Chain A
Amino acid sequence: MRKLLFGVGVLLAVHVALLFVRPEGASAIPTGEGLDIGIVFDMGGRGDKSFNDGAYRGAELAMRDLGARVRFVEPGDGSDREAGLRLLAAEGMDLVIGVGFIFTDDLTQLAREYPQTDFAGVDLAVSTDSAGAVIQPPPNLAALKFREEQGSFLVGALAALVSRESRIGDRNYTPTRRIGFVGGMDIPLIHKFEAGYRAGVLHVCPDCTVVAQYAGVTPEAFRNPGRGKELALSQYQSGVNVIFHAAGSTGLGVFEAARASGKLAIGVDADQYEEAPGYILTSMVKGVDAAVFDAIKRVQDGTFHGGIYEFGLADGGVGYIYDDANRALIPDSIRTRLLSLQDSIVAGRIPVPTERR
């Protein structure tokens, strides 16, 4: 018993002593110039070649150009997402960013609990009330949203135009009026891609058919390349030449099917050309980096306020890849057509739907 008490006493003394030790660089109160930014990544974290990497690039730019200090938190599965956000908010960060629609509820809750801290959510879902009016997020929470339907419209037009060609790059195709789409989870966020894509296809080719399929009804549908490959194979076999995927890593299976069938696929979110060089027609990209940088810059300038920020074709928030790698796959006449379509959308002459009919 005495030994035990002695041991506990020693541990207590050490513990108290250690309270006075402060490791270098671990200052509790942020000081000096520059903002303190906290970013919580979605599942996968850095290296996902998509969303999280985009957010990281935006933060990196802010570190370099604005002198911001950025702390990253990579949650594992499930519940520690909220804990990560809460930790950063409690540490008195100037801006806390959640990457991914999955943070919607947690961010809304925390924004109410910490009214002095600014929050931003990439792809934050905004709900509507029973009358159909949009419910605005709290005044210190910014929803960084993208007009995915606009980018999808353009790649839809591209897919339809390319499907009518008999020779793309160095391969021959049978021209077709069937255009493919593979979605991940069957939810409104992904329907937005489909709606824009479908509208784009039908705009340039009114008698084309869009074959749209989804990988499933659970979040697993975004991580099931086996299912993606089978869906794409059956579409290619039915005569489709080009498939656009909005399906996370399920889409990697679509690329694999494109290789196996010698046909084309369109990537999503980031430039995915490297996943299957020669088979990726283009990628519909979202400027997550620009959106994150923009939010940080607004906090720096004092112009940050809550609400909905939408990034579309006009401000480069969405777009498609056209560079040295895929130039050979997109004929000049089609490129010209796409540029004029883009102008029409930006000018508001072509309305792009956000919901399936």
Chain B
Amino acid sequence: MIGIIFLAQTIRIAMPYFFAAAGGVVSERVGIIGLSLEGFMLTGAFCTVLGSYYSGDPWIGLLCGIAGGMAAALILAVATIRFRADQVVAGIAINLLAIGATRFFLRLFFNSSSNSPRVVGFGGEQSAGGLFATFGNPIVWLGLITLPVLGLVLYRTPFGLRLRAVGEHPQAARSLGVSVNRLRYIGVILSGALAGLGGAYLASDQHQFTDGMTAGRGFIALAAVIFGRWDPKRVALACLLFAAAETLQIQLQGLQLVPSQFVEMIPYVLTIIALVGVVGRASPPAALGKME
């Protein structure tokens, strides 16, 4: 019983990481740094609530969340691909923009700076927060297959090969007739859609939007991307590892076995370890962050 509760909670916590990290893999694989996952998620969460609130249908909310993430990603894509803005600066700017814009529209639509009214979501009401509530939520199933499907697309399809080529060696890709910029646009916007889906999961799980509700999950997802060496399979495991650490902390916190500060450091410490190459070498896509 304890094991099942632990597993269900780990999966629920991992869900936003799965989506956002999948977005991070796509974006970084085409050479654009995934620093604005946090902003995409926040925008996606807000648009989900907006869509659900006005339509009363969680599926329309979900689509709105995806669209919101894509819209935010389009801004990043235009700034970095069309206008060649510095990717780090543009990425951080998108995050700040998302925080400010969601807060502005929250007040405009719902007249509150704290949270939106309650909206419909997925999963049964009144059910105990265990397995049924977890797996009764269709987005959970979507989240579980996202990274495996992404792995298939990246490594088993011509489209995936082109995506990877653009991030590794854009000149070579171009010489073979691949439209580098077009694929980069697709990659970044796809990353926005996936991260927006992560925000949609958060918002529909809470049945509302609250100011800044992503609370750094986009950065943990980015850490998972790096720790998983840009490989969807390993990234999925990294997401699960980070989520399991959080679950362990939640389950054990009453016992005060480990200081909670320590558990909160885990994703970042592991990322640094991966980057300095203690456990195998983490080599990012060769053209990451570079525009020729």
Listed in ascending order, the chain A residues whose CB lies under 8 Å from chain B are: 44-50, 52, 76-77, 186, 211-214, 216-218, 220-221, 223-227, 229-231, 233-234, 236-237, 249, 252-253, 256-257, 259-262, 275
Contacts and interface: CB of A to CB of B under 8 A. Distances in A.
Interface in B239-285: 246-247, 250-251, 253-254, 260-261, 264
B49 to A, nearest CB: 12
Nearest to A44: B113
Given A223-B215, A234-B250, A252 B210 contact: yes
B249 to A, nearest CB: 9
A85 B114 CA distance: 23
Contact of A261 (B114, B128, B264): B128
11 contacts: A44-B113, A47-B113, A217-B260, A223-B211, A223-B212, A223-B215, A225-B206, A226-B13, A230-B246, A260-B126, A262-B128
Contacts of B129: 233, 236-237, 257, 260-261
Listed residue (B100, B130, B212) with the most chain A CB atoms within 10 angstroms of its CB? B212
B215 A227 contact: yes
A237 B128 contact: yes
Interface string B8-23: 0100110010000000
A111 to B, nearest CB: 27
A234 B212 contact: no
Nearest to A233: B129
A211 B215 contact: no
A220 B112 contact: no
Nearest to B206: A225
B13 A230 contact: yes
A50 B206 CA distance: 19
Contacts of B215: 220-221, 223-224, 226-227
The 6 closest A-B pairs by CB, nearest first: A224-B215, A233-B129, A47-B113, A47-B112, A223-B212, A44-B113
Given A214-B260, A226-B215, A234-B9, A76 B114 contact: no
Nearest to A50: B114
B85 interface: no
A249 B210 contact: yes
A225 to B, nearest CB: 5
A52 B107 CA distance: 14
B59 to A, nearest CB: 20
A46 B211 contact: no
A217 B5 contact: no
Contacts of A48: 112-114
